[in-house]
Amino acid sequence: MTAKLVASVFLVAALGCNAPAFAAGSVEAGQAKSMTCAACHGVDGNSVNPEWPSLAGQHTTYIARQLNAFRAGERKNDLMSPMAMILSDEDIADLAAYFQAQAATGGEAEPSKLALGQRVYRSGNVARGVMACAGCHGPNGRGNRRAGCAALATVRADFGMDRG
């Protein structure tokens, strides 16, 4: 390979890695479109009901991936699936931008479960086949935007890992 070809390959790879997975959405448009979402996820994306996840402060890539999965039928929920089916790509980008821009109001861990939670988060639980959470969600739980891994700051323990 010539030096020019090698440089071109690295340039294309670098640009490709930095390109967003979808068009950037509008926070303002997302706010207007989020009124329907507010019934379950809260006006600002901070849900008060443990049945529904908080979306405030969540990465756009994670929100978009989940909404696309509901829309495509890859992820199913009696309430979310029909809501997502009517969303356009632009709607999804706008909603993701809006919810990412909101301040998350996370709760606090139950003190009696904190040490166990930290251990499982950092090291997993080999006996139960649970991988370390930090591998995907990062050392501080802020998630991994590029990989589409959720930020965990506002996820309640009772929401459960089986719901995604």
Residue 148: its pLDDT value, please? 80
CA of residue 142 relative to chain centroid, distance: 10
pLDDT on residue 143: 86
pLDDT tens digit sequence for 37-95: 999 999 999 998 888 899 999 999 999 999 999 999 999 999 999 999 999 999 999 99
Name the most confidently modeled range: 2-6, 118-122, 151-155.
Answer: 118-122
Q: Shortest CA distance to 48 belongs to which of 40, 37, 56?
A: 40
* Interior angle at CA 135, CA 134 and CA 137, nearest 5: 55
Exposed / middle / buried, residue 67 (Cβ in 10 Å: 0-12, 13-18, 19+) = buried
Q: Which residues face 149 on adjacent strands?
A: 144
**In DSSP terms, which residues pair with 130 in a beta bridge?**
125
Look up the pTM and report it.
0.75
For residue 51, the model assigns a pLDDT of: 86
Task: Look at residue 21 in the predicted model and tell me its pLDDT.
Answer: 45
How far is C-alpha 139 from the geometric centre of its chain's CA atoms? 16
Beta strands in 19-155 (DSSP E): none
Indicate the SS3 state at residue 111. Answer: helix
Q: How far is CA 43 from CA 13, 47, 56, 102, 150, in A?
A: 40, 8, 10, 10, 20
Above 70 in pLDDT, residue 96? yes
What type of residue sits at position 118? Q
C-alpha separations of 67 from 15, 70, 101, 137 in Å: 26, 5, 17, 19
pLDDT in tens, 120-144: 999 999 999 989 999 999 988 888 8
Residue 123's contacts (CB-CB under 8 Å, 6 or more residues apart) are 132
pLDDT at 157: 65
